[in-house]
Amino acid sequence: MRAGQDTSEWAIECLDVSPIVQHHPASIFASWNNVRAGFPTCQGHSFVTSFPIERRAYREIQLDSNIDEPGVLDVLKLSLTDSGNSHQVHAITSEEVGLSSSARWQQIEKFDGLSIYKNLRALPRAWFVSKVVSAQPLAILNAIRTSLSPDGTAFDPRSTAFVEEPFTLTSDERVEAAPPEIVEASNSRIVINTRARDVRFLVLSDVYYPGWIASIDGHETKVFRADYALRGIAVPAGPHEVVFEYRPLSFYVGLTIGMAGIVVLLAIALRMRRSNKSP
């Protein structure tokens, strides 16, 4: 795909752009008035091109760039046309590309040109994983972005969690664990009932933030930063009540300072009262 032949700078006719463009305009597909503050109105364009491909079945089409400097190629529309029947055109839409996996997306309803899909892999607010791996923050972030663990294996957040501290856990996935049940939820308190036959790692899809503490059956436990941005704790086997509460340090510092101020004021008042009673 060549500039000046298959595609061009969309603002190639604008007075501030045309002097620096080193290619000719390609075949124009559509045009519009480009209005910008401080510049004369000019025509913006999108362009069209076509490429012949062999008669065979394709699972994917990949566009590679080979340019010396950074640039942006904006593909607005991609269609497949049968050369033997020019009326037989199949438009490849962004919806098809993003929602083509039937294992992940299920179409629920379609009306007025809009489609509603259900994400079959959506995770609940709280879930158990059987494996915990320790890794560096950037490695964890990359695993989330690419769905590949640092060791190159597939990363599935439904079965594995990453933490940033020296901590690992491996449980038997064949041992059943009931899904965590949220029985109370507010802005500062979440109560979850758990039941598992072996130790599990509980991941909460709420953002990790300093000030949140967790307890299991009334005993405080460590809160890990899981999967780069979430909260997680290790939960032993058996039935348990897990409580997350928001208790920021600033609140206790302010409370301590306030109580200390009250004590000082009371001491000063008491001393002044005694002084007034003295002959």
For residue 273, what pLDDT is reported? 67
For residue 254, what pLDDT is reported? 59
3-state secondary structure (DSSP) of residue 249: helix
Q: Does 279 fall in a domain?
A: no
Tell me which residue range forms the domain holding 232: 126-247
Rounded Cα distance between 242 and 218, Å, is: 8
Rounded Cα distance between 17 and 71, Å, is: 15
If one counts every other C-beta atom within 10 angstroms of the C-beta of residue 261, the result is 10
For residue 57, what pLDDT is reported? 61
Q: Does 57 fall in a domain?
A: no
Residue 263 phi, psi dihedral angles, 5° rounding = -60, -45
Nearest to 224 by CA among 167, 143, 141, 140: 167
The tens digit of pLDDT for each residue in 153-203 reads 889 999 999 999 999 898 887 777 889 999 999 999 999 999 998 999 999
Q: How many domains does the chain have?
A: 1
Q: Does 110 fall in a domain?
A: no
Q: Does 266 fall in a domain?
A: no
Q: Does 84 fall in a domain?
A: no
For residue 18, what pLDDT is reported? 86
Residue labelled with tokens 């008042």: 269
pTM for the full model? 0.56
Q: How confident is the model at residue 88 (pLDDT cuts 50, 70, 90)?
A: low
The tens digit of pLDDT for each residue in 11-50 reads 888 888 888 888 888 888 888 888 877 788 888 888 888 8
Contacts 24+ apart (CB under 8 A), 91-98: 92/61
Rounded Cα distance between 219 and 16, Å, is: 68
